[in-house]
Amino acid sequence: MQAYRIVASRGPANLTRIATPEPGFGQIQVRIKACGLNFADLLTLEGRYQDIPSAPFTLGMELSGIIEKTCDSVDNLAVGDRVAVFSGQGGLAEMGVFDSSRAIRIPDEMSYEHAAAFQIAYGTSHMALDHRARLQPGETLLVTGAAGGVGLTAVEIGKLMGATVIAHARGADKLAVAQQAGADHLIDDSEDLRSRVLDLGGADVVYDAVGGAAFKAAFRACKPEGRLLPIGFASGEVPQIPANHLLVKNLSVLGFYIGGYMKFRPDLVRGSLTQLIAWYLDGRLKPHLSHVLPLSQVAEGIELLRSRRSTGKVVIRTGD
């Protein structure tokens, strides 16, 4: 089968042919239909991600497909089930073997492309805003990088949860995408973020996928008792947080990494995905896919993330 793999530590990734893996204890074999790309895939390729598997390994953190085989120890899933898998690795391939605990059935109404783009972006935003920040109806939510993979879902979910949403992004086209997802106010990257947010009354919750200068400005635009969620650092700069400023406004900075929850509270992740799929079936969530590419063009998909030319999600179609 074909797989997009890193063979040596910090080495390049290439599309290559490898043997089809067989399921072991507690595992399922999945014929992969689609794989969602994430900024973390780019960081992994550059050796900058916080949770890089040991080489060799196949890239691709989330996928969808059909179960081809199961181990006798698996009793919650069956051959033929349509599933989404929060794999962590292995999604950019034609076939894969994964722990059954990382798989969830998907409804017939959900396409494989939507399912592959769903788990990390929507799961991150829902758990961060609901479980960690406790976002309340009527509060003001500021989202930086609001047209990106996770940022756009934060706009959508924040609006669904009853917040007033301020979207911050680069350029009119990206801001238009955020507006379509429900943003109430739009701030271009060329504007003074701090002053614009303060003019709107300040932020109760900040969902920051950018880091760097955007985080610093958002930090200073918080209301008293504001909560900040550092979700990612697309700018390349991890901000340093002045603890004395936290004291003055009684601010809270809440770390969130959905991969960590998969290890110590997978029940929360599964519960979140169950809720999100229900919202999807009700038509309340509409995944935005800017590009759907074949496996042969995975490198081009990664470049779309690197150059920040995509909006929402980039999905790689790995099978027919």
CATH value at residue 33: 3.90.180.10
**What domain count does the chain have?**
2
Give helix then strand counts, H and E, for the chain: 11, 16
C-alpha torsion sign, points 114, 64, 38, 263: positive
Q: CA torsion angle for 144, 167, 269, 13 (degrees, to 10)?
A: -50
Asked if 16 and 132 sit in the same domain, the reply is no
Instruction: Give domain status of residue 280, yes or no.
Output: no
Do the domain assignments include residue 212?
yes
Q: In this structure, are 133 and 84 located in the same domain?
A: no
Query: Is the distance from CB of 98 to CB of 92 less than 8 angstroms?
Result: no
Range of the domain at 245: 124-258
Q: Would 268 be classed as within a structural domain?
A: no
Percent of the chain with pLDDT over 70: 100
319: pLDDT strictly greater than 90: no
Q: Which residue has the higher pLDDT, 51 or 250?
A: 250
Residue 264 maps to a domain: no
Assigned token pair, 122: 């929507």
| 114 and 158 housed in the same domain | no
| β-sheet with 2-6: strand ranges across | 13-17, 2-6, 57-58
In a domain, 158, yes or no: yes
Cα separation, 286 vs 143, in Å, equals: 18
Residue 267, in any domain of the structure: no
Model pTM above 0.75: yes
User: pLDDT for 71-112, tens place per residue?
Assistant: 888 988 999 999 999 999 999 999 999 999 999 999 999 999
On whether both 128 and 194 belong to a single domain, the answer is yes
Per-residue pLDDT at 226 exceeds 80: yes
| pLDDT single digits (tens) 6-58 | 988 777 899 999 999 999 999 999 999 999 999 999 989 888 888 888 889 99
Token digits for 65? 């497909």
